[in-house]
Structure 1
């Protein structure tokens, strides 16, 4: 994946941490909600709370987040909080720049993390779980009894399986080309698995659903081929939800007549809504409905992060990996 972003930067968009200080402009109510010493989990979409979309409750479209953090690698005053020692050269922030001992996070982007939840594993709530919830709750609006397919069951796609199960989906179809991922998908809620390397994924999904197609298909790869498979796999009136990112400027093709005549809904979903959804996701994990331990397949030290990213790029990490910074 190649997406434009300022460099040098500090990555790390899924975090858990402890509040050590409040900024001078922090609202008193937030200080009371998140006192120093609080354990917190962060959402990678950090809403400003004041823009057009935030005031309508659509934190996932926050204007400041996309204009400053995603476009410029800064917080919402247009400044990064990270600089190189000595030269003072700015270092940019991908989300909060969590791959460090300290991170600066807008208060609207964090929720309290109860001690009943594991500290390291809970970091994935802020993206893998958060993105899956946004797709299932807001874009697809999955209802009990729905048939759902997920194409690409890596860290985010496998979280979609658990969220679909939590929402009461009756048929949950996992599609991938790696047997180890499909094997794990069965443990995370998939009722059927399809290896798209050896089977026609669209035909198999139609077969499983009695020739109709699924109510919702989620594409979690960001690939033009699987984009088309996603659209072709949904029933008449169904929803094709795209959550995978790809090369900047990449295009996906759709049969316009099929789209129009069969009332197919094609939509993008980038993530959840931090102020409303993050506390809900904490409760899902706390109740055991979302299994964090099953979702995280690997933990590594900070010194091993480079190797973990290489393994991720090769597709050899099943599920989600977390980096522990002590």
Structure 2
């Protein structure tokens, strides 16, 4: 099969032919229809996120089941499916209490060592060299995934487009529903209107936010945010976003400010535009050991709550997101601005790094 391999930090992504993997007990082999290009992959490619090389990235995957491992009985061959980027083991303490997104074995095995839950990878080069797997390793024509993170896609939902449910919209849902516990009538700011930020905007509207302010750089991203239910937009290239949010809210700030980029500066801005007693939600994945400076007296005096949000809870949230997509509560295609074949991964990630992609780009199967 064709796969995209990264040999080390800041190295070119190579298009290679490697053996098709096989699923073991509790796993599913899918033929990948599409895989989203996410900023978290960029952190690994740049060496900003500790991960073993050589590796295959790609954690936002949809496709069709071609083989079931032993013990998998809730899926069938030919099922159209989407996978969550967090692959819950279903057995550790966090999984047992419903916090799938904090799965200890996922972080200890997959995200630390690039292996699945038996401690080995399913991927190898043609010469036998092991390839680490970042989540599902979806930048390939076939992917082996733990069945606990694989969900049927309704026939009415386009399969390629469904891929973005696996990370960007699952992450947006976790931030809006669980971290913020967003309520009808609240005011919202979304700092960075990329793939995750656009998802937060749409979900905030569905959950009844009375006002949604989108903040980013450049007209293209902000025009898309306006089309996807943002009440107002702020271009940070020509005005102070904190001052403008305060101006739009009569000096009060917003009830919930979501930071969806992962930089110290944008988190500090989100915090300072949060109203008294409000919540700042950190959603964007930062690079390395990046740290923000938060004024302690302001935090104390204004009783602002800061909370981190990592993805959603796959086993409970993904079925809800699939129902929402099937009932057309949001339009998946409106979040996707670029579709390219898998073999063009290098150029797509270069565009992502340059900030020239609006919303989400997806890489589609070459088979």
Name the TM-score, length of structure 2 as normaliser: 0.86
Could you tell me which residue of structure 2 aligns to residue 65 of structure 1? 106
1:223 equivalent among 263, 285, 289: 263
Q: Do the aligned partners of 2:63 and 2:160 also contact (CA within 8 Å) in 1?
A: no
> Structure 2 CA distance, aligned partners of 1:158 and 1:120?
18
Could you tell me which residue of structure 1 aligns to residue 355 of structure 2? 315
SS of aligned partner of 1:19: strand
1:138 equivalent among 161, 165, 178: 178
Matched, 1:10 2:50: no
Q: Do the aligned partners of 1:174 and 1:185 also contact (CA within 8 Å) in 2?
A: yes
The 5 Å alignment of 1:176-255 reads: 176-255=216-295
Structure 1 stretch 238-247 or stretch 125-134: which is displaced more? Answer: 238-247
> Structure 1 CA distance, aligned partners of 2:340 and 2:313?
29
> Structure 1 CA distance, aligned partners of 2:75 and 2:276?
47
Question: What is the number of residues matched between the two proteins?
Answer: 320
Could you tell me which residue of structure 2 aligns to residue 269 of structure 1? 309
The 5 Å alignment of 1:141-180 reads: 141-180=181-220
Could you tell me which residue of structure 2 aligns to residue 124 of structure 1? 164
Matched, 1:303 2:334: no
4+ runs of 1 displaced by more than 6 Å?
Answer: none
> Structure 1 CA distance, aligned partners of 2:219 and 2:331?
21
SS of aligned partner of 2:53: coil
> Structure 2 CA distance, aligned partners of 1:18 and 1:219?
34
Name the TM-score, length of structure 1 as normaliser: 0.96
> Structure 2 CA distance, aligned partners of 1:208 and 1:190?
13
Runs of 5+ unmatched residues, structure 2: 1-42
Per the TM alignment, residue 305 of structure 1 is displaced from its structure 2 partner at its CA by: 1.5
Could you tell me which residue of structure 2 aligns to residue 110 of structure 1? 150
Per the TM alignment, residue 286 of structure 1 is displaced from its structure 2 partner at its CA by: 1.1
> Structure 2 CA distance, aligned partners of 1:199 and 1:284?
36
> Structure 1 CA distance, aligned partners of 2:67 and 2:159?
19
> Structure 2 CA distance, aligned partners of 1:46 and 1:163?
23
> Structure 1 CA distance, aligned partners of 2:323 and 2:248?
33
Q: Do the aligned partners of 1:3 and 1:246 also contact (CA within 8 Å) in 2?
A: no
> Structure 1 CA distance, aligned partners of 2:55 and 2:76?
29
1:56 equivalent among 81, 97, 100: 97
Could you tell me which residue of structure 1 aligns to residue 31 of structure 2? none
Runs of 5+ unmatched residues, structure 1: none
SS of aligned partner of 2:143: coil
SS of aligned partner of 2:159: coil
SS of aligned partner of 1:211: coil
1:90 equivalent among 116, 127, 130: 130
> Structure 2 CA distance, aligned partners of 1:300 and 1:205?
37
> Structure 2 CA distance, aligned partners of 1:145 and 1:110?
34
Cα displacement string for residues 27-47 of structure 1 (whole angstroms, at most 9, x for unaligned residues): xxx51x211111110100110
SS of aligned partner of 1:104: strand
Cα displacement string for residues 82-126 of structure 1 (whole angstroms, at most 9, x for unaligned residues): 01112x111011111011121111111111101111111110000
